[in-house]
Structure 1
């Protein structure tokens, strides 16, 4: 994407950029305190390797990322699409972990959206299966954290 005609305008605007669908043909510089809604997603399926959940988390963190958190139906569909396009098949690790008495995302946030596979039911207290994965069918499964799978960073 490139700057629109006569942009950046340099009208004492701070370095902030806006792009939205309102008939513009490119980017515009805007006042840095202007408030606009945003949606930012970058999912990457690690198709080149299989790792345990902990090692997958470490790999994502080395990439200045994290294992993917899924907090809406939209994010779920994006994750499913990325997995399908990668062609890895099988379960892939996501940033879901059972700690103390509940499932949490790696950033510490609670589940606002759930997509558990029917038999898995994440509300049970798992003994060994304390890490979350996205199944080939696009549902969440609790799995043994030592298993090695592909994974999704975001």
Structure 2
């Protein structure tokens, strides 16, 4: 029998590295011997069958070894897992704790950021509401301003229209004033001519001037005209004063005894319808006042010297009590005497 050759096979198992400690452990080496018989130099059929049977047995043995090796490998893997989970659990737990702490810190930061964002959103919401209110108020004010502007525009148009009307009225008034001025000039010329004709009448083809106009009587510096109107043409005191004004004069005013005597002598009418002549004396605020504003100082001149409201004075001729003035109601109708200043024909 030839010498059998011995072959050796080695299998090495290594543990996985731990994440924290990285521990390395080398497993024991297991050797298994497999003997293979050498082929003899001269083989018979029986020898061949025996060799074939031996080879078959060797194969089965090799298969068994491989199965055992697989089981051992599985056990080694299980052992490594158990080692990782049992021998070094602290490192993983620490890593998880660190990760949890980091996550909690991140969560707190995110919570703070979220709170800040919520506060910012709240502030922005409040500001937005305030802006909306301000916008609404401004819009309302703008509406009011537009309405006021329209109102002012309307008033401006109305004022422009009124201004145009006033300008037209002023133009018309100016034209009227010009016309009146022209008429006044004509009237003045006419009056001047009238005055010339009245104060300087033509006598025998020659103008002769005098201090009082025609039909007026001069006494000192005044001219008088006596209106001996019949009863149906007599006037009240106010009407008589208006008539005198139309002649550029007033009812006669007696300033002294000479004028009083002249007025008395002028009241010469013997007509029964003339009871007296209106003169410029009446009751004002409870006292006798002349038309020139002076008071009656000689109360002995008038019958019923006590002033009576609504009474005026008339001049009467030949009064039995020698009082040449009488107090009568201003609404009575009487004749009247007008007075005006006389012209001066001599140089001053």
- With the shorter chain as reference, the TM-score category is 0.5 to 0.7
Are residue 46 (structure 1) and residue 223 (structure 2) matched?
A: no
**CA distance 1:112–1:127, shift in 2 (3 Å):** closer
One of 325, 330, 335 as aligned partner of 1:150: 335
One of 286, 297, 317 as aligned partner of 1:101: 286
Q: Report which of the two has the higher share of strand.
A: 1
Q: Report which of the two has the higher share of helix.
A: 2
Work out the CA distance in 2 between the residues paired with 1:76 and 1:108: 18
In the TM superposition, 1:68-83 aligns within 5 A as 68-83=252-267
Shift of 1:102: 1.1
Shift of 1:55: 0.1
In the TM superposition, 1:70-149 aligns within 5 A as 70-84=254-268, 86-88=269-271, 89-114=274-299, 115-117=301-303, 120-121=304-305, 124-128=306-310, 130-137=311-318, 139-149=324-334
Shift of 1:41: 2.1
Q: What SS does the aligned partner of 1:71 have?
A: coil
Shift of 1:113: 4.1
Work out the CA distance in 2 between the residues paired with 1:125 and 1:87: 29
Unaligned 5+ runs, structure 2: 1-219, 340-348
Structure 1 segments (4+ residues) deviating >3 Å: 86-89
Shift of 1:98: 0.4
Q: CA RMSD in A?
A: 2.0
Q: What SS does the aligned partner of 1:77 have?
A: helix
After TM superposition, the score normalised by the length of structure 2 is 0.30
Offset from partner CA, 1:14-37 (integer Å, 9 cap, x none): xxxxxxxxxxxxxxxxxxxxxxxx
Unaligned 5+ runs, structure 1: 1-38
Q: What SS does the aligned partner of 2:239 have?
A: helix
Which one scores higher on RCO, CA 8 angstroms, separation ≥ 6? 1
**CA distance 1:127–1:101, shift in 2 (3 Å):** closer
Work out the CA distance in 2 between the residues paired with 1:137 and 1:93: 16
8 Å CA contact 2:267, 2:316 repeated in 1: no
